[in-house]
Amino acid sequence: MKVCIYGAGAIGGHLAARLIAKGDCEVSVIARGPMLDAWRTKGVALHTEGRVIGGKPAFATDDPASLPPQDLVVVTLKAPSQPAVAAPLARLLGERGVALFAMNGLPWWWNHGLDAGGPLDLLDPGGALWNGVGPGRALGGVVNSSNQVTEPGVIVHTGTKRWIMGEPDNSASARLKRVVDLFSAAGLDGALSTDIRRDIWRKLMTNISGNPVAALTRLVAKDVATVPGLDEVAIALIDEALAVAAAHGCDLRGEIGGAALARPAKGRAPGKSSMLQDVEAGRAVEVDAIMGQVQVFGREKGVATPVIDTVCALLRGLDLSMKLAREAAGAK
């Protein structure tokens, strides 16, 4: 089985390390910059559960066209980067390949099989992914795992390692079972979901509070919890998102509450959220997948989201300031 990790950073690198160590499939990685150099020269070293595993992939490249068609492509690129790779991704899948999108927030294929139908303009402008890759070739993924690249080729993992995967039509398809079994055999806690949108909403409730607040304050969770008023912001973000989810047919309010989900941050380890890592590195942040599309969904159903509206605007301002800084640095 040929497996390609498209975007082999912290999450993708963790997965690649486990698949390489298990040796049950041919692993290729698509990366760039110092990470690509590391993949080519020494491979990856994943520090997890008191041991180090990994190795070198069969192929490491920044050019998807240099790889043969793949059976499975695991896309771990952040949501803002995905539409731009629709064409090379489609070529990489060939005639029979399937793509697993493992990302934070709401995915571009969300409307597949729903009455609404069609691409989400905010996440997939012009329908590049919808028309190029096709939602029928997508699997949804929810990753509960904390990982950080400490240096090129070195990834440190803490906490859980759970990958929840599902079909957009919620079926337990043969292709989905193969992927779950492959990941589980490699040492991940693979789980087959028969309601992947519900699992995505559930994970979003943590992301929509923890990620934006950390990015805007540049504080880890344990320090956010010491600032009066910030936990109230996090709670409001969650409660508003829960109301939007309920209006769209997924009512989680019986099992999740903003206060219960946000306040335990006081006891969390000082890990950095993915969005905080992006801000510190000057990378684009996942504003629309984590907040913007929730805002759109709320407006479609007449659900008021005043705190989401405010924080989303601030986050977009931060994202723009980093983009301008990158452009200024590139012009020098």
**What is the DSSP secondary-structure string of 274-311?**
HHHHHHHHT----HIIIIIHHHHHHHHHT---HHHHHH
Model confidence band, residue 332 (pLDDT cutoffs 50, 70, 90) = low
pLDDT for position 264: 53
Q: Pull the structure tokens for residue 180.
A: 């779950």
Model confidence band, residue 228 (pLDDT cutoffs 50, 70, 90) = very high
pLDDT value at 153 more than 90: yes
pLDDT for position 207: 93
Least trusted range by pLDDT, from 69-78, 181-190, 215-224:
215-224
3-state secondary structure of 31: coil
Residue identified by tokens 């950390």 is 214
Beta-bridged to residue 166, according to DSSP, are: 140, 193
Least trusted range by pLDDT, from 75-79, 86-90, 172-176, 259-263:
259-263
pLDDT value at 267 more than 70: no
pLDDT for position 265: 47
Cα 241 to Cα 98: distance, rounded to the nearest angstrom: 30
Helix (H) or strand (E) holding 60: strand 59-61
Class of CATH domain 198-331: mainly alpha
Cα–Cα separations (whole angstroms), residue 129 to 44, 73, 119: 30, 14, 8
Cα 188 to Cα 185: distance, rounded to the nearest angstrom: 7
3-class SS shares of the chain: helix, strand, coil, % to 5: 50, 20, 30
Catalytically annotated residue among 42, 56, 203, 222: 203
**Dihedral angle sign, alpha carbons of residues 102, 103, 108, 110:** positive
Residue 95 CB neighbour total at 10 angstroms: 5
Least trusted range by pLDDT, from 114-118, 152-156, 256-260, 321-325:
256-260
Domain ranges of the chain: 2-194, 198-331
Residue identified by tokens 């990470």 is 35
Mean pLDDT of 43-64: 96
pLDDT value at 22 more than 80: yes
- Whether residue 56 lies in the annotated active site: no
Cα 210 to Cα 106: distance, rounded to the nearest angstrom: 16
Note the CATH number of domain 2-194: 3.40.50.720
pLDDT tens per residue across span 97-126: 999 999 899 999 999 999 888 999 999 999
CA 311 to chain centre: 20
Task: Confirm if 55 and 21 have CB atoms less than 8 A apart.
Answer: yes
Q: Where are the alpha helices (DSSP H) in 23-138?
A: 33-41, 86-93, 128-132
Cα angle: 235, vertex 219, 230; to 5 degrees = 25
Q: Pull the structure tokens for residue 244.
A: 């939007």
Whole-number percent of the chain with pLDDT over 90 = 86
